[in-house]
Amino acid sequence: MSEAKGTAAGGHHAGGLPLSEARRRILDEVAPLIGQERVALGNALGRVLAENIHAPLDVPGADNAAMDGYAVRSVDVPGEGAVPLREVGCVLAGQARQQPLAAGECVRIMTGAPVPPGADAVVMQEQVERMEGAEVVVPGPVAAGTNIRRAGEDLAAGSVALGAGRRLRPQEVGVLGSLGCVEVAVHRRPVVAFLSTGDELCAPGQTPGPGQIHDSNRHLIGAALRRLGVEALDAGVIGDDVGALKAALSELGCYADAVITTGGVSVGEADTVKDAVDCAGDVAFWRVAVRPGRPLAFGRVGQSVFFGLPGNPVSAAATFYQLVQPALRRLMGEAGTLQPVQLPVIAAERLRKRPGRTEFQRGILEPGADGAVQVRSTGAQGSGMLTSLVHADCLIVLEAERGDVAAGETVQVQPLEGLQR
């Protein structure tokens, strides 16, 4: 860690580290895990490639028809006007015609079928007129290359089809399939342990006693981890007991790659996480200048990267997506930009904000009267109101120095589907 153990209030930033600095410092402390495995293509979705994939062959493997129609020689249809050609066969997808086309001939061809020798264009079937017998009337002119997909135009043999560090989405899995891959080498999945803290939490199925609530954070963070594709380890709930929490963190730090807690990182008498981590490991900083979610502890316990998230559920979600998820993606071996994608849109209404902290308000995207995308708030923005995230499809990102936003001003948004990988 770059700071001494137990540094208060995030170093020299009494109000918390700026978001960009907190993210940078976290990513500077995290490196891709050592170790990889080979998995079957059917199990590769969501994994991160550990090696470059080179195309062993051209894709497509031969010039082929981009649509149903007639394969012709462009020299036979050089100018304006219709030209009669003689149909001499039919080529279906999965078949190939070896005999070259002669002058004045054409071949019926289906989408994906290899273009026969001599043909250099395909005319859409809707554009031709079939006459009696084998005569087909083709309107001209027809340019060479019309409606033909060239061999290797998608991937050339020997080229890098997919680079190491790429997360495999359905489209990447499809490319691997097109290359005939049976299995691929991927980075091993991080083991991420997560737990909730607090005497006020009661287990699912139990009736909350006076002052108690059901634990939502453990289910929220656990679901986010599983969706991300790590090996999520539910470590349960630990009460406000520094000794018990220290023991749990020390044990988890022996085998987990990352440990996440929620709750217990503020400055109240029962906020125990920072004290426990100070005993079991190392706290680098514990405040970030964001709203919701300023109290956030980052450090290490044993061999594990440690994140102590706030107890309010929206704060826990916001800090997870802004700071924890990028770090876990790096642990997983993912390359490239790890920051959440932001898009500029128009504010449909006034948004209230005080300068000082980067703020994440929950928003709803919709088309404006002119068709341009705009965003409005989901309403009340309390950090304990998890339904504000349920109703949202984006986070509205308001910069630290910004104050109130007037309707019609441009704001940045992070689509939730982009965050929830």
Question: Is domain 64-149 in CATH 3.40.50.970, yes or no?
Answer: no
Backbone angles phi, psi at 2, to 5 degrees: -85, -10
Cis amide bond preceding 60, omega within 30: yes
Cβ burial, residue 160 (10 Å; 0-12/13-18/19+): exposed
Q: Domain spans of the chain?
A: 8-35+188-331, 36-59+153-187, 64-149, 343-419
Is the CB of residue 375 less than 8 Å from the CB of residue 345?
A: yes
What are the tokens at 173? Answer: 């899995």
**Alpha carbon of residue 417 to chain centroid:** 8
pTM: predicted TM-score of the whole model, two decimal places: 0.86
Is the CB of residue 136 less than 8 Å from the CB of residue 128?
A: yes
Residue 240: the pLDDT is 83
- The CATH number given to 8-35+188-331 is 3.40.980.10
Kindly report the number of other CB atoms within 10 A of residue 117's CB atom.
Answer: 12
**Alpha carbon of residue 311 to chain centroid:** 25
CATH superfamily of 343-419: MoeA, C-terminal, domain IV (2.40.340.10)
Residue 267: the pLDDT is 61
Residue 271: the pLDDT is 64
**pLDDT tens track, the chain, 421 positions:** 534 343 444 444 557 899 999 999 999 999 999 899 999 999 999 999 999 999 999 999 999 999 999 999 999 999 888 999 999 999 999 999 999 999 999 999 999 999 999 999 999 999 999 888 889 999 989 999 999 999 999 999 999 999 999 999 999 999 999 999 999 999 999 999 999 998 888 877 888 888 888 889 999 999 999 999 999 999 999 988 888 989 999 999 999 999 999 987 776 554 678 788 887 878 888 789 999 988 888 999 999 999 999 999 999 999 999 999 999 999 999 998 898 999 999 999 999 999 999 999 999 999 988 989 999 999 988 888 889 999 999 999 999 999 999 999 999 999 998 877 7
Is the CB of residue 341 less than 8 Å from the CB of residue 315?
A: no
Give the single-character DSSP code of 405: B
Residue 149: the pLDDT is 96
Residue 273: the pLDDT is 81
Please report which helix (H) or strand (E) contains residue 201, including its range: strand 201-202
How far is 376 from 185, CA to CA, in rounded Å?
A: 44
Is the CB of residue 389 less than 8 Å from the CB of residue 216?
A: no
Residue 85: the pLDDT is 96
Please report which helix (H) or strand (E) contains residue 389, including its range: helix 387-390
At position 2, the amino acid (one-letter code) is S
What are the tokens at 253? Answer: 């730090």
Q: Which of 281, 318, 338, 332 is nearest to 398 (CA)?
A: 318
Would you state the CATH architecture of domain 36-59+153-187?
Alpha-Beta Complex (3.90)
Same fold, 8-35+188-331 and 343-419: no
Residue 1: the pLDDT is 54
Give the single-character DSSP code of 212: -
How far is 27 from 10, CA to CA, in rounded Å?
A: 16
